Amino acid sequence: MDLLFQYIGLGISSVFQGPEGGLWLLPVGMVLIGVLIGIIIGAVPGMSGPFAMAIALPILVSIFGYGNEALYPVLGCLLGIMKGATVGGAVPAILFRTPGTPDAFLTTLDGYPMAQKGLGRKAIQTAHFSSVLGDNFSDLVLFIAAPAIALAVERILGLPEKSALIILSLCFMAAVVGQAPLKGLLGGLLGMFVSLIGSSMSGNGPRLTFGLPELGNGLPLTSAVLGVLVISEVLVSIEDMRNDRSSQAEGPAKRPEMGPRLTWGERARMLPAILRGASIGTVIGALPGIGTTTAATLSYDSARRASKHPEEFGKGTPEGVVATESANSAVSGANLIPVMSLGIPGNSAAVFIILAVETIGDFAFGPQVFQFTPIREVEGFDTIMNAGLVTAFGMFTMMVIANVWNWTLGGMLMGLLGHLVKIPKSIILPVILTVSLTAAYTQDGGYLGLLTAAIFSLIGYGLRRLDVSILPFVIGFLLAPTLEGLVRGAFTASGGDPFFLLKSPIALGMLAVSAFLLIRMVRQARRA
């Protein structure tokens, strides 16, 4: 226990202590900037947390560089954006029935009618209270679950089991994301394949480069993810707007009466419902691939079934706002559970957190992070400890700081954000495109980065238009190097046994579940 507290103490102090040992407020400031950006971006229709994180990452790397000391400022800003965006999306949803972020869509069902009844302020404060409390709850679960899962994984799972776990995660993600799981899984394999371009595992030179020396260091990671995840989405939206002339004339409705404030008594009565929504959001968020919309939908349905007045749902009951906001915000902390404990990203926001860690410094997510190595000072050398664990607790500290900013600034800002809905999506999308392409050029080696972003955006466009979910492709792209290392290691350790993945009962069990998911996908495909 002493060791745990020692590491927690080191983690907290690492956020406030600069590389030279003096007081360092840069990470705290960057968390604040991130939260502000997140809240504002969340309130702009057409934007979302992952969009802002995608654009911010290359800019942050340009500012802070690739060294270890850049990790906290960059991660602080990204975590702040992720958390701030969960709060901001509710404001236009409540005041104008225009959700700032997709997960705030269900908030419109009861938030907007509340605002129309003259209870706009109460609805916004309900959304803020539920959202931040739900987020805090899932953070607490993350702080406890991530180390526990990581320790269990590191103790129980060897190379074949870890390989099987990644295969299972990919199958699970393909099965639950989108309507076309077979194509989702094919997309995941394609993503893995593409990430092998330019890499080498046995010192025989880069592979699959078509003889182009520019590809010798592999594809630029950030540009590729920016292209497939963000630019392709922007292109699809731009094309939809190009084909749809009717929505142009429609402007936002007039801002409704704000009405009375939310009382402390009302807040106290909401706590059980918030706890239920946050629990649903946390469980859903911890599973890879299942997003905020599913969490909000399940929570809304569950709240309606549990309510004494289910008929009031959809007509402006605060219970509806509590259910959706507590659940969709709880996803943001919980989706870091698989990231921090296993190194497996579960949603778009987590992808950019992983990307930041892979781009900057030498810290890497995975079960090895949570090894509680005894802290020993070796005379004349240095202190021996697990620096990754200190960084992990530093990340947790920054998440707590982001929560504090969300409680204080979030509450103040939310009432002022209504006018952001007037920023037209038709202007925002081209601006995002220009900024994204510029960021790809500046961070990833000039036209190579730009070309990579462009090609991957076309791949993403094609996948989206064919209804193949993007997430397995991106996750496959990011996980391929890890999976290849594990599979090669397991094969070598088995002495070249072709059935190396089937020798362990745990790996066999995981592969059996993967096979079951595959059979389910095929049956689903034949029934569709």
Q: Rule CB under 8 A: which of 129-188 touch other proteins? A: 179-183, 185-186
The whole-angstrom separation of Cα 176 and Cα 258 is: 40
Contact between residue 58 and residue 439 where contact means Cβ atoms under 8 Å apart:
yes
Q: Tell me how far, at minimum, the Cβ of 514 lies from other proteins, in Å.
A: 11
Residue 128 as a binder of other proteins (CB under 8 A): the answer is no
The whole-angstrom separation of Cα 167 and Cα 161 is: 10
Relative orientation angle of helices 71-88 and 49-64, to the nearest 10 degrees: 160
Q: Which is nearer to other proteins, 317 or 504 (CB)?
A: 504
Q: Tell me how far, at minimum, the Cβ of 189 lies from other proteins, in Å.
A: 5
Q: Which is nearer to other proteins, 368 or 426 (CB)?
A: 426
Of 72, 143, 352, 441, the one binding other proteins (CB under 8 A) is: 441
CA angle 430, 432, 437 (to 5 degrees): 95
Q: Tell me how far, at minimum, the Cβ of 185 lies from other proteins, in Å.
A: 6
> Total residues at the site for other proteins (CB under 8 A)?
84
The whole-angstrom separation of Cα 208 and Cα 388 is: 33
Map residues 401-440 to x or -, x wherever contact with other proteins holds by CB under 8 A. Answer: -----------------------xxxx-xxx-xxx-xx--
Map residues 27-46 to x or -, x wherever contact with other proteins holds by CB under 8 A. Answer: -------------------x
The whole-angstrom separation of Cα 356 and Cα 65 is: 11
Q: Which of residues 213-272 bind other proteins (CB under 8 A)?
A: 233, 235-245, 248
CA angle 118, 123, 127 (to 5 degrees): 170
Of 257, 422, 492, 503, the one binding other proteins (CB under 8 A) is: 492
Q: Tell me how far, at minimum, the Cβ of 362 lies from other proteins, in Å.
A: 21
For 267, the token pair is 């807040």
> Residue 377's beta-bridge partner residues?
383
Q: What are the backbone dihedrals phi and psi of residue 383, each rounded to the nearest 5 degrees, phi first?
A: -95, 130
CB neighbour list of residue 168: distance below 8 Å, 6 or more residues apart: 510, 511, 513, 514, 517
Which stretch, 74-82, 207-215, 250-258, 300-308, contacts other proteins (CB under 8 A)?
Answer: 207-215
Residue 520 as a binder of other proteins (CB under 8 A): the answer is no
The whole-angstrom separation of Cα 122 and Cα 129 is: 10
Q: What are the backbone dihedrals phi and psi of residue 19, each rounded to the nearest 5 degrees, phi first?
A: -60, -30
Q: Which is nearer to other proteins, 267 or 464 (CB)?
A: 464
Residue 522 as a binder of other proteins (CB under 8 A): the answer is yes
Of 11, 34, 50, 160, the one binding other proteins (CB under 8 A) is: 50
Contact between residue 79 and residue 399 where contact means Cβ atoms under 8 Å apart:
yes
Map residues 450-479 to x or -, x wherever contact with other proteins holds by CB under 8 A. Answer: x---x---x--xx-xxxx------------
Q: Which of residues 96-115 bind other proteins (CB under 8 A)?
A: 102
Q: Tell me how far, at minimum, the Cβ of 360 lies from other proteins, in Å.
A: 16
Q: Which is nearer to other proteins, 241 or 253 (CB)?
A: 241
Q: Tell me how far, at minimum, the Cβ of 24 lies from other proteins, in Å.
A: 21
Q: Tell me how far, at minimum, the Cβ of 491 lies from other proteins, in Å.
A: 5
For 179, the token pair is 């309507």
Q: Which of residues 312-351 bind other proteins (CB under 8 A)?
A: none
Burial 489-525 (b: 16+ CB within 10 A, else e): bbbeebeeeeebbeebeebbebbeebeebbeebeeee
Of 487, 510, 511, 517, the one binding other proteins (CB under 8 A) is: 487
Is 288 strand, coil or helix? coil
Q: What are the backbone dihedrals phi and psi of residue 140, each rounded to the nearest 5 degrees, phi first?
A: -60, -45
Of 12, 189, 364, 508, the one binding other proteins (CB under 8 A) is: 189
Q: Which is nearer to other proteins, 181 or 318 (CB)?
A: 181
